[in-house]
Amino acid sequence: MAIEIIGDVTGRALPLPGDNIDTDRIIPARFLKSVSFEGLERHLFEDDRAQVAAQGGTPHPFSDPRYAEATILVVNANFGCGSSREHAPQAIRRRGIRAVVGESFSEIFFGNSVALGLPCVTAAPEAVDTLIQMVARDPALVVTVDLAALQVSAGTHRFAITMPAAARDGFLDGSWDATGLLLDRYEEVEAVAARLPYVGR
Amino acid sequence: MTLLEKVWNAHTVRKLPNGQTQLFVGLHLVHEVTSPQAFDMLRARGWKVRFPGRTIATVDHIVPTRDQRRPFLDVMAEDMLAALERNCRAAGVPLLDLQSGSQGIVHVIGPELGLTQPGMTIACGDSHTSTHGAFGAVAFGIGTSQVRDVLASQCLALDPLKVRRIEVSGTLGSGVYAKDIILEIIRRLGVNGGAGYAYEYAGDTIERLTMDERMTICNMSIEGGARVGYVNPDQTTFDYLRGRRFAPEGDAFDAAVTWWRSMASDADARYDDTVRIDARGIRPTVTWGINPGQSVYVDERLPRPSDMEPATRASLAEALEFMGFQGGDPIKGTRIDVAFVGSCTNARLSDLREAARVVRGHHVAAHVKALVVPGSQGVRAAAEREGLDRVFTDAGFDWRNAGCSMCLAMNQDRLEGREVCASSSNRNFKGRQGSPIGRTLLMSPAMVAAAAIAGEVVDVREMTGGN
């Protein structure tokens, strides 16, 4: 695997307010009926988008042409809860999103995103809400998520972000794809297996 | 030390340069939805399955529960099973398929076959893998890239977890089940209260629960944000495992029990947090909203946004609007269209028995579609030996083949339009049961059975005089 360092992401943002947005909403289960991840982005938030469209008025952010070029997704708390389906971050990444800024993420969603090279960074609720409001007012606003400085900047609005050290280091040194690491020094794995009473049985 | 620490230590390969722990996975359970891409990635990188003997597969999410003839009528479902068959054959991974007599929901068959054992680390590409913690295993739900990692290396790279001990004590009231305990825990601690934690369920109430009941509780740990939940292994655990197909036999069983016992949390173990819950206060619980924390006791009324903290008002209003309910409405009397007894949460034999006990001698309300989907072929056969299938079919329920069915509707079983479903499953998310605007009320299997008969949400305690 080629090493890809992910130090910062700069681009327009897409605000998606609301707590506890689960992976069934991100990608409804019926679209998991495939042996590949290809084309998943077409069904990203499909049911939510349809419901918002049926109500008229402002379209769902993922249907809104003002956010078509966005590469940074901004969310509130417990984003990606529920099912472990990697299809959720796959669909988001395939839609062109390269970083997610939020109040908090479900653990499994966060880990799945790391494995895809999609950093999810956490910030204080007020900072996130301010960013959501700023982007809603000005969809062309350029936002930078800086993993090295642990900071998001958007115009004059700057705020601190956090990310678990292992994930951050992985993005910064390009080692976020962990499989190679797990295959290193494999004799140590075999030694642990041999020591476990239930494995030899 | 806690069980989590002991199991973690026993399976640690090394501390990785990034600070994570490389953990050996003792049992990898595989199913058709989250594995095909993982096998593809493995092939693309030229890797092999390292421990095919510690890997076992079944098919559950996409199987039709009515007509299971191959090829399936649903071409995409057929493709997924065919891919699983090819991948398992090529890698030498055993597949418990529809002909095996052992097929079923992955979290039902692991325990049922004795694959799931105390002290193990278990991984599966499904968030309800926490179920296996009922045996004192440490079981992780993982995504597809991690399925690839486990296939290739039999390992996971993980951040450490804190442990929250949840002590439940006191006798459960009549008509109150394990499902009500876990819904209570989620309601109190929140749907993300468990982030960063493993939940250790303990206390005299938990100790008195059967393995089936402990599985129901551990299953929904993830709905409370805890990726891992477990119960310390005890005599109930060992008695359950003795004689099961993949459990050790004879002297090996006794030796295993000694090790299993040694892995339980020590009396002086230190916890990052402890929560105490009085089981005597828990009543039959029903969710009214769009996440499993949004629940009330069956004799309560729905919360009003104006009564809530400002921070939760918006999500409450969103949930009420989606469900078409008003704050202050009673949940009792809510008309239902569909009744579903099934899922990895509540489709084991004891769940079917409890539902059948409510159903016997009654008939499903005329406007209700009702179905019972056993969690495995083994559960189905055992239920039929007891005549439970007849109890259900006589009452107007459909009696189906094993699978995930309407829990997530990756098959023909799904809600239509705005239907309201009384469901023994685990998630009431928007669209979860297959209709984008369908509505799910989570409750115990006995409460589902009672709702099926009444045609609306009722208090099962008033139908049976309690358990």
The amino acid at residue A79 is: F
Instruction: Tell whether B202 and B274 lie within a shared domain.
Output: yes
Nearest CA in chain B to A81: B225
Query: Is there a contact between A189 and B154 if contact means CB atoms under 8 Å apart?
Result: yes
> Do B144 and B125 meet the contact criterion of CB atoms below 8 Å apart?
yes
> Which residue does chain A place closest to B55, by CA atoms?
A199
What residues of chain A lie within 8 A of the CB of B9, using their CB? Answer: none
The whole-number pLDDT of residue B265 equals 98
Give the total number of structural domains in chain B.
3
- A84·B80 Cβ contact <8 A: no
Q: What is the ipTM of this complex?
A: 0.95
User: How far, in Å, CA of B282 to CA of B270, rounded?
Assistant: 27
Identify which of B191, B255, B437 has the shortest CB distance to residue A20: B191
Q: Which residues of B touch A33 (CB under 8 A)?
A: 62, 74, 76-77, 80, 410
Selected for mutation to probe chain B from A83, A103, A104, A162 (highest B CB count within 10 Å) is A83
Residues contacting residue B14 through CB under 8 Å, at least 6 positions apart:
A185, A188, B21, B22
Q: Do B445 and B384 reside in the same domain of the chain?
A: yes
Whether residues B359 and B399 share a domain: the answer is yes
Residue B152: predicted pLDDT: 97
Query: What CATH number does the domain containing B277 carry?
Result: 3.40.1060.10
Q: For A139, which DSSP code?
A: T
Q: What is the CATH number of the domain that holds B377?
A: 3.30.499.10
- At residue B6, what is the residue type? K
Of A33, A85, A181, the CB nearest to B80: A33
Expressed as residue numbers, the domain containing B350 is 285-464
Q: Are A53 and A59 in contact (CB under 8 A)?
A: yes
Residue A51 in 3-state DSSP?
Answer: helix
Q: What tokens were used for A33?
A: 């009926």
Question: Is B449 in the same domain as B301?
Answer: yes
- How far is B348 from B354, CA to CA, in rounded Å? 10
The alpha-carbon gap from A144 to the nearest alpha carbon of chain B, in Å, equals 25
Pair (B147, B167) in one structural domain: no
The nearest CA of chain A is from the CA of B102 a distance in Å of 22
- B268 and B293 housed in the same domain: no
> At A99, which helix (H) or strand (E)?
strand A99-102
- Fold (topology level) of A8-200: Aconitase; domain 4 (3.20.19)
Q: Which residue bears the tokens 């418990």?
A: B96
Minimal C-alpha gap between A64 and chain B (Å): 20
Alpha carbon distance B301, B422 (integer Å): 17
The tens place of each residue's pLDDT in chain A, 201 residues long, gives: 557 999 999 999 999 999 999 999 999 999 999 999 999 999 999 999 999 999 998 999 999 999 999 999 999 999 999 999 999 999 999 999 999 999 999 999 999 999 999 999 999 999 999 999 999 999 999 999 999 999 999 999 999 999 999 999 999 999 888 788 899 999 999 999 999 999 974
Residues B122 and B205 in one domain: no
What is the block-wise mean pLDDT of chain B (467 residues), using blocks of 10 residues? 98 93 98 97 96 98 97 97 98 98 98 98 98 98 97 96 98 97 98 97 98 98 98 98 98 98 98 98 98 98 90 90 97 98 98 98 98 98 98 98 97 98 98 97 98 98 70
Residue B156 has φ and ψ, to the nearest 5°, of: -130, 150
Tell me, yes or no, if B165 comes closer than 8 A to chain A by beta carbon. Answer: no
Chain B residues whose beta carbon lies within 8 Å of the beta carbon of residue A200: none
Q: Which residues have a Cβ under 8 Å from the Cβ of B157 and sit 6 or more positions away?
A: A166, A178, A181, A182, B16, B18, B20, B21, B22, B23, B149
Mutate to test the interface with A, among B73, B261, B430 (most CBs of A within 10 A): B430
The dihedral sign for the CA sequence B398, B403, B409, B411: negative
Taking an 8 Å cut-off on Cβ atoms, the answer to whether B192 and A104 are in contact is yes
Q: Given CA atoms A194, B11, A112, A100 in this order, what sign does their dihedral have?
A: negative
Tell me how far apart the alpha carbons of residues B361 and B368 are, in angstroms, rounded to a whole number. Answer: 17
Q: Which helix (H) or strand (E) holds B95?
A: strand B95-96
pLDDT of residue B312: 82
The neighbour count for residue B365, using CB atoms within 10 Å, is 18
Nearest to A25 among B16, B50, B431 (CB): B431
Note whether B215 and B233 are same-domain residues: yes
Interchain proximity B195–A78, CB inside 8 Å:
yes
Report the residue of A84, A93, A118 to disrupt the B interface, i.e. the one with the largest count of B CBs within 10 Å.
Answer: A84
Q: How far apart are CA B236 and CA B382, in angstroms?
A: 20
Which residues are CB-neighbours of B409 under 8 A, at least 6 positions away? A29, A30, B415, B432, B433, B434, B435
The radius of gyration computed from the CA coordinates of chain A, to the nearest angstrom, equals 19
How many Å separate Cα B438 from the centre of its chain?
A: 21
Report pTM: 0.97
Please answer whether residues B392 and B414 qualify as being in contact, where contact means their C-beta atoms are separated by less than 8 angstroms: no
Residue B350 CA, distance from chain mean position: 14
Is residue B294 within 8 A of residue B288, CB to CB? The reply is yes
B51: left (phi over 0), alpha (psi -120 to 50) or beta: beta
**Which pLDDT score is estimated for A201?**
46
The type of residue at A33 is K
Look at residues B158, B179, B201 and tell me which one is the last residue of a structural domain.
B158
Inspect the interface and report whether the beta carbons of A181 and B157 lie closer than 8 Å. Answer: yes
Do B240 and B269 fall within a single domain?
A: yes
As a dihedral over the C-alpha atoms of residue B217, residue B221, residue B224, residue B227, rounded to 10 degrees, the angle is 180
Is the peptide bond preceding residue B111 cis, with omega within 30 degrees of 0?
no
Cβ pair B409:A33 closer than 8 A = no
B10 & B112 share domain: yes
Cβ-defined contact of A81 to B259 (cutoff 8 Å): no
Q: Among the three residues B281, B305, B329, which one is the final residue of a domain in this structure?
A: B281
Same domain, B13 and B116: yes
The residue from B98, B132, B158 where one domain ends is: B158
How many angstroms separate the CA atoms of A32 and B381, rounded? 30
The helix/strand/coil state of B103 is coil
Contact status, residue B145 vs residue B42, Cβ threshold 8 Å = no
